[in-house]
Amino acid sequence: MRRDPRHANQTRGNSSKRRAANARRLHVEGLEGRALLAATGATPASTTAPPTAQTVSYHHALYEVAITSGPGSVSVVNQGKAGYAITVSGSNGSTALTVAQTVLHPRYDNSQLPISQINVRDGSIGSILGSGAINLLGQIKTNSASTIQLADMGSNAQITIRQGLDDLAVSSAINLGAKGHIVVLGNLTTLSAGSITLNHGQILIGNDLLNLTTGSMSVSNQGLLSVRHNLGTTNVTYDTGVSSGGLISVGNDVTGLTLGSITAATGGQFVVSRDVVGEFDVNGDINLAGGQFVVGRDIAGAFKINGKFLGSSNGALVVGRDIAAGMNVSGDLTLATGAAIVVNRNVGAQASSSSSSSSSSSSSGFLPVNVNSNALGLSVTGNLSTAGGGTISVGGDLNALLVDGYMIGQNSDVIDVQVGLDLFNWGVYGGIADQGGVISSNVNVGKNINGFDVAHGIFNDYITAGVAIQNSATGADGIDAVFDTEIRAGIDIVNVVFGGNVESDHVTNPNGRQTRIIAGEDRAGNFNSGGNIQGLIIEDSLINAAVIAAVKPFTGNTPPPGSNNYAQPGGGIYRFASGGFANGGVPYAAPPFADPNASNTVLAGSINKSFAPALNAAAPAPGYIPLPSETTVFGSVISTAHTYPSDYAGFFAADTSGVYVGTIPK
């Protein structure tokens, strides 16, 4: 076989090149008279110390990356668009890595050095100091560190500390996206930043975060700020927002909260599993627009909102036990579309006997109202509105409900304010012209309402107490103190003054509520034979309205059947001023009723029995009737002609001997 001459030439050529190359690499070197084979390309062992500083140019500015204290060396590699990678070797807990801008260019004097990673090879470093220079785009990962100071954290930035960290300070912004996180498995003493934004990003603290300070904070789109144990003093200057599934979670207690405004929207939550131990100050508004603020146990310090409280779209403030020192809203409190304030136990504490009280009283000078305007409870400087569909629920005592404006509800069967035990110190001092001060509100109190002071009338309301309503004064809006309103107490109504007419327009407006003042009937319609009204005064007239103590309404066969109203009274024993009975001589008094078909049950109730003349008084002279000691109605008792769907005006009780209509003669 003949070999292709081209291959032969190529083989010879390659062999020649290899021999030439070997000849260049290898030669004989003299060493102490011996011939040794050596390679000229070999690098002798270096005696230079590892570098502790390196200068980097970026955007026409110079930066020095240096070990400024403690052991260690540093190297910097430019990774293009990813930024600069810094590697620290030989470091320990006393090592400080500093990144600083050293030479400025006028156009770039505020620029920052983008850092793709800081690799701490030996797993321990004291400080990473770059508050004016480091824009962290990638990762810092180490077992332990004392201080980390940065200028910015980008959306993919990551800090992972396997133990604790004393101080993490970001002078501008922490802005973490889906790949960004800060993880400290132990304690973080201080976290401070110009602003914190977690848009899918996470901050996870394995134990305590003792101090949190930032200009603003936003957690959204499943973002998470989680402190596994205690969150210490927290100060957010401007807005705190949680939305779209964002969560701020504290596994134990919060020492104290000072925030700007709070917004919790579309499933966002701020959750404290145990207590807010100190004060809770909001220097702005709270807006719960579909989000929740939850405290598992108590807000122990004063809860102050220096702005509005707004709730909508089922947003809620939920407190598992007490708001111990009360809640103060400096603007309006507005709850709509399913929004709620829910406190499972008590709001505020009962005032001591030395606390100041309001000096409200009836124009007759009788019965001062014991409402403490400084009581700790829920106080609202503006208006309180649940008209849009919100609720307030307190499982235990509400020790004050003080509203400087008006209070308006939903005008429905839905309860606007629910109190499980006692409501003390209920004061409403504003109003709307021709609408009253407490308007269209449905209020249910499980036990007692003690101290009720309304300056401008109760209109279109339904107010019930399971046991008693006592120490109350209601001023008039125009001439009416109570209009289209039902007030019930399960047993007693004591020391109540209405400073105007008590009236219903149901006769001419079938949609208007019957006006009834009832003792001895609870919200469920159960009657109590011991129902009594004591110390009731109406400073003007009783018009198409009924005052009732333990008398069931008419449910007879006269059309319409079961109309559930108070029928025309028959002859009664309460007294009118001289000059005859009201309304053409018809005595609108207690049962028996004029309607023979009335199937009412009259229980052993009484109205103003304490005003009645003594039973052992001397027999009166002819023409003289012993008079009660106080007037019950200063004006008249008036019933407009009507059929059964409306109540007749009058006093309905087994004993009305203490009732007097008109001015008692001297």
Position of tokens 């399960």? 490
Give the pair of three-digit tokens for residue 417: 């304010």
pLDDT greater than 70 at residue 442:
yes
Alpha carbons 297 and 255: distance in angstroms, whole number: 13
Give the pair of three-digit tokens for residue 34: 């011996």
pLDDT greater than 50 at residue 10:
no
Peptide bond just before 71 cis, omega within 30 deg: no
* Predicted local confidence at residue 18, as pLDDT: 47
The amino acid that residue 435 corresponds to is Q
- Mean pLDDT score, 608-616: 79
pLDDT tens figures, 448-495 = 999 999 999 999 999 999 999 999 999 999 999 999 999 999 999 999
pLDDT tens figures, 240-252 = 999 999 999 999 9
- Mean pLDDT score, 382-397: 98
pLDDT greater than 90 at residue 288:
yes
For 463, the enclosing helix (H) or strand (E) is: strand 462-465
- Mean pLDDT score, 52-56: 94
SS3 541: coil
Q: Is the pTM of this model over 0.75?
A: yes
SS3 572: coil
Q: Are 542 and 533 in contact (CB under 8 A)?
A: no
* Predicted local confidence at residue 430, as pLDDT: 97
* Predicted local confidence at residue 585, as pLDDT: 37
* Predicted local confidence at residue 335, as pLDDT: 98
* Predicted local confidence at residue 592, as pLDDT: 55
Average pLDDT, the chain: 86
Alpha carbons 478 and 461: distance in angstroms, whole number: 17
* Cross-strand bridge partners of residue 536: 496
First to last CA, the chain: 155
Alpha carbons 405 and 252: distance in angstroms, whole number: 37
Burial class (CB in 10 A: 0-12, 13-18, 19+), 82: middle
Answer with the residue of higher pLDDT: 69 or 654: 69
* Predicted local confidence at residue 2, as pLDDT: 44
How distant, in Å, are the alpha carbons of 50, 443, 534 from that of 522? 87, 13, 18
- Mean pLDDT score, 102-112: 71
* Predicted local confidence at residue 553, as pLDDT: 84
pLDDT greater than 70 at residue 22:
no
Q: Are 537 and 608 in contact (CB under 8 A)?
A: no
Write the DSSP assignment of 338-403 as a string of letters.
T-EEEESS-BS-PPPTTS-------TTS-------TT-SSEEESS-EEEEEB-EEEESS-B--EEE
For 165, the enclosing helix (H) or strand (E) is: strand 165-176
- Which of 35-44, 69-78, 83-92, 321-330 is least confident? 35-44
Peptide bond just before 106 cis, omega within 30 deg: no
